[in-house]
């Protein structure tokens, strides 16, 4: 199914048939909105969402000409899809354009109440009252009535001046659907005009007697809450939740009432035992998130946030990411680590392949086969010589120190794509804490002692430092001969953070020239192409590498995954980079997919929140590309067994050599 059809199917669900709950409001604390569609925005744009959850703004005429009308024509004989397009046109103010399709649906499928209703709504908005009455009455004459269809028929009667029929029809609608908001509100408005609050109370009392009702009881409870009778209101809310635990709209309204009136503890107490995002929808959950923030419950809040993000509803994605940021900030305060009296242990972690290989099951086919004479080159995390830091010793990394691992990781990755270099990366770590950063330059003695703890032959060592200045960074790297640890060359660049990519590309060029690694060399059949990111993209990629290293350390138990602040940002940073610079290197996409595996292997379930963009990324990958070749591993990540088997079987038909061996092994 195309992305457009998936979007329109969601719209159809919003305008779908009863008796299930239908929530038309975007305001989670509201009491809902009329079944009658609201007037379209006067905006010159139509909003939609792509497969990665990003909001798109399309000029109205472009949407009408290039999307809406062609899709209506294409789906004329597919009623479910066609209805979704009609609902979209009604929502976005294209009533006249979708009216022929609505007539076609209502006449071709006379037993479908949602088709008759959408036609009636369109005609009502176009001022065709007699035809609207005819369309709704035609359905009612041949089928069992529905509450929301009767409510819209009452609207027609009202505009026609058929006063007696209005109230009679509204009560019929309410008896069929006792929680149909439009009918109850219209009855209350009419009663208020005729007899004031006493008449309104009479309507609510009568509505409360209809079996299955909860909306009128909610209105009475809200009056009690606003008048300071909180105990009475809470008792009513408890009773309603016990009687109607399946209603997501009711939970949304209750949570909105309690949140608006400063009762977050009661909101959590009442909703947390019964609320399920899949069962009840997202709106009550968003109110519950706010209550978790107010009560400083990071554990409950992040668990719920994960479940809401896993729904994959684009319209709520940005709001939920903002909640993720707020919970990350709250965790810094609530879960700040207490001083540990135990002695901290310093260790080292080796990375012998680019970081995006770390969770791909040893994909030797991705990298060029090394020449026997290729020198072994050790890249060591840089020192952080920012003024104010200790001149000696090792301390936990601070923000400028992120570059201390990001820069050598990027250089190591660049050399990994050459047959005539065999690089690896050394990261000092503090067990149970994370990466460690030296506060002083690596000396000959320090490097000699470091290599003594590593069981790997080494020819060249690359160390260096990063210094944070007022508005820039000074990056220095030194090339050492591992035999006797003599310094061979030092290279220095001063750069801003935004120009980091340009500085790194310059360092890489000078480094490979000094080591005589410049000549191009042949590649294997499946070896990843050494595509260059633009310099401005490279700046972001370097920082993403440093962030992903933290996930790798969590996966190996160096630090707990719960200690990583901004876990979602760490995972998604390379995805954002790839979407911002499409058509360039595949390494940001590979890094994003690797981050998902690292997150899972570290014991977190946050990776599941990225299922939709990850699968979209794989499905859009060109045939034969690196992303397409690794697709089975990521279908497996999300337990998509059918897709895993199908993609693996398809790829095995043409697989050979190291890639075939890897594919069989996974």
pLDDT (average), residues 395-405: 69
Q: CB–CB of 258/250 below 8 Å?
A: no
**Residue 582: is it exposed, middle or buried by C-beta count within 10 angstroms (0-12/13-18/19+)?**
exposed
pLDDT of residue 37: 41
Query: Cα 58 vs. chain centroid, distance in angstroms?
Result: 22
Q: What percent of the chain has pLDDT over 90?
A: 53
Compute the C-alpha angle 31/33/35, nearest 5°: 135
* Cα–Cα nearest to 276, from 239, 243, 311: 311
H-type helices in 244-381, by residue range?
248-260, 264-271, 277-280, 283-294, 298-309, 314-334
Helix axes 611-619, 626-637, angle to 10 degrees: 150
Q: What percent of the chain has pLDDT over 70?
A: 87
Task: Report residue 348: phi and psi, to 5°.
Answer: -130, 150
Q: What tokens appear for 133 in the block?
A: 């009455």
The Cα 356–Cα 413 span in angstroms is 9
pLDDT of residue 568: 84
pLDDT (average), residues 375-391: 83
CB atoms within 10 A of CB 484: 8
DSSP state of 485: T
pLDDT (average), residues 131-152: 91
pLDDT of residue 16: 37
pLDDT (average), residues 93-122: 94
Instruction: Give residue 57's pLDDT band: very low, low, confident or very high (50, 70, 90).
Output: confident
pLDDT of residue 23: 31
Computed over every residue of the chain, the mean pLDDT equals: 85
pLDDT of 5 above 80: no
pLDDT (average), residues 169-179: 95
How distant, in Å, are the alpha carbons of 273, 380, 497, 543 from that of 491?
61, 15, 18, 21
**E strands present in 482-536:** 486-495
pLDDT (average), residues 34-56: 62
Distance in Å from the first CA to the final CA of the chain: 29
Mean pLDDT check: name the lowest of 200-204, 231-235, 467-471, 600-604: 467-471
**E strands present in 20-103:** 45-49, 55-59
pLDDT of residue 35: 43
- If you search the block for the tokens 């994370």, which residue do you land on? 434
Query: Cα 135 vs. chain centroid, distance in angstroms?
Result: 42
pLDDT of residue 25: 30
CB-based burial, 429-448: b 16+ in 10 Å, e otherwise = bbeebbbbbbbbebeeebbe
Instruction: Give residue 8's pLDDT band: very low, low, confident or very high (50, 70, 90).
Output: very low
pLDDT (average), residues 255-266: 93
Helix axes 567-580, 314-334, angle to 10 degrees: 140
The three-state (H, E, C) secondary structure of 556-570, written as one string: CCCCCHHHCCCHHHH
CB atoms within 10 A of CB 263: 21
pLDDT (average), residues 206-234: 94
pLDDT digits (tens, 9 = 90+) for 422-475: 999 999 888 777 787 888 889 999 999 889 888 889 999 999 999 988 788 899
Q: Tell me if residue 317 falls in helix, strand or coil.
A: helix
pLDDT digits (tens, 9 = 90+) for 528-579: 765 668 888 888 898 889 889 889 988 888 877 876 767 888 898 898 888 8
pLDDT of 56 above 70: yes
Q: CB–CB of 386/467 below 8 Å?
A: yes
Domains of the chain: 214-336 (1.25.40.10), 346-665 (no CATH)
pLDDT of 78 above 50: yes
- Residue bearing the bigger pLDDT, 45 or 33: 45
Helix axes 657-665, 641-652, angle to 10 degrees: 160
* Omega cis (within 30) before 411: no
| pTM, full prediction | 0.65
pLDDT of residue 28: 43
Phi-psi region of 557 (alpha: psi -120 to 50; beta: other; left: phi over 0): left
Largest CA distance in the chain: 102
Q: Which residues contact 488 (CB under 8 A, 6 or more apart)?
A: 479, 480, 481, 514
Q: Tell me if residue 375 falls in helix, strand or coil.
A: coil
Instruction: Give residue 43's pLDDT band: very low, low, confident or very high (50, 70, 90).
Output: low
């Amino acid at each position: 199914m195309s992305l457009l059809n998936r979007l329109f199917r969601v719209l159809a669900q919003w305008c779908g048939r009863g008796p299930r709950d239908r929530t038309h409001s975007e305001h989670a604390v509201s009491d809902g909105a009329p079944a009658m569609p609201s007037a379209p925005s006067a905006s010159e744009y139509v909003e939609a969402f792509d497969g990665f959850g990003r909001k798109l703004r399309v000029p109205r005429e472009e949407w009408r000409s290039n999307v809406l009308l062609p899709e209506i024509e294409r789906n004329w004989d597919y009623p479910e899809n066609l209805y979704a397009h009609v609902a979209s046109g009604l929502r976005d103010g294209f009533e006249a354009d979708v009216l022929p399709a609505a007539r076609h649906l209502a006449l071709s499928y006379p037993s479908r109440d949602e088709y008759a209703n959408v036609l009636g709504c369109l005609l009502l908005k176009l001022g065709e009252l007699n035809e609207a009455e005819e369309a709704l009455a035609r359905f009612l004459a041949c089928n069992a009535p529905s509450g929301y269809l009767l409510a819209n028929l009452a609207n027609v009667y009202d505009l026609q001046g058929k006063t007696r029929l209005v109230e009679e029809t509204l009560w019929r609608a309410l008896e069929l659907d006792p929680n149909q908001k439009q009918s109850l509100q219209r009855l209350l408005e009419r009663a208020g005009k005729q007899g004031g609050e006493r008449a309104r109370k009479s309507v609510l009392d009568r509505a409360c007697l209809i079996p299955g009702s909860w909306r009128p009881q909610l209105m009475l409870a809200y009056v009690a809450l606003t008048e300071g009778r909180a105990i009475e209101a809470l008792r009513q809310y408890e009773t309603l939740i016990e009687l109607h635990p399946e209603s997501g709209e009711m939970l949304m309204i209750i949570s909105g009432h309690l949140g608006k009136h400063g009762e977050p503890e009661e909101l959590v107490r009442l909703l947390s035992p019964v609320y399920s995002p899949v069962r009840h929808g997202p709106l009550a959950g968003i109110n519950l998130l706010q209550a978790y923030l107010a009560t400083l419950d990071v554990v409950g809040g992040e668990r719920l946030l994960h479940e809401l993000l896993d729904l994959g509803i684009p319209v709520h994605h940005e709001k939920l990411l903002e909640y993720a940021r707020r919970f990350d900030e709250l965790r810094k305060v609530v879960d700040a680590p207490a001083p540990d009296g135990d002695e901290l242990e310093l260790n080292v972690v080796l990375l012998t392949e680019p970081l995006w290989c770390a969770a791909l099951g040893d994909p030797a086919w991705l990298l060029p086969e090394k020449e026997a004479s290729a020198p072994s080159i050790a890249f060591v995390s840089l020192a952080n010589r920012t003024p104010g830091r200790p001149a000696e010793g090792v301390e936990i990394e601070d923000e400028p120190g992120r570059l201390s691992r990001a820069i050598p990781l990027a250089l190591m990755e660049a050399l990994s794509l050459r047959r005539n270099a065999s690089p690896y990366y050394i990261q000092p770590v503090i067990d149970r804490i994370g990466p460690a950063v030296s506060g002083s330059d690596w000396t000959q003695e320090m490097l000699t002692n470091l290599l003594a703890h590593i069981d790997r032959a080494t020819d060249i060592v690359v160390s260096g430092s990063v210094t944070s200045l007022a508005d820039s960074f000074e990056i220095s790297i030194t090339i050492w001969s591992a035999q006797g640890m003599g310094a061979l060359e030092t290279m220095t660049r001063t750069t801003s953070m935004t120009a980091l990519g340009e500085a790194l590309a310059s360092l890489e060029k000078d480094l490979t020239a000094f080591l005589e690694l410049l000549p191009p060399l042949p590649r294997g059949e499946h070896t990843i192409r050494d595509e260059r990111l633009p310099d401005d993209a490279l700046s972001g990629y370097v920082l993403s590498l440093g962030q992903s290293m933290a996930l790798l350390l969590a996966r190996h138990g160096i630090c707990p995954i719960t200690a990583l602040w901004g876990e979602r940002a760490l995972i998604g940073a390379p995805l954002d980079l790839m979407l911002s610079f499409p058509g360039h290197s595949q390494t940001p996409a590979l890094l994003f997919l690797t981050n998902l595996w690292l997150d899972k292997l570290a014991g977190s379930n946050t990776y599941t929140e990225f299922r939709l963009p990850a699968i979209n990324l794989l499905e859009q990958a060109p045939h034969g590309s690196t992303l397409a070749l690794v697709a089975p591993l990521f279908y497996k990540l999300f337990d998509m067994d059918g897709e895993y088997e199908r993609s693996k079987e398809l790829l095995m038909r043409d697989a050979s050599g190291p890639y075939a061996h890897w594919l069989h092994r996974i």
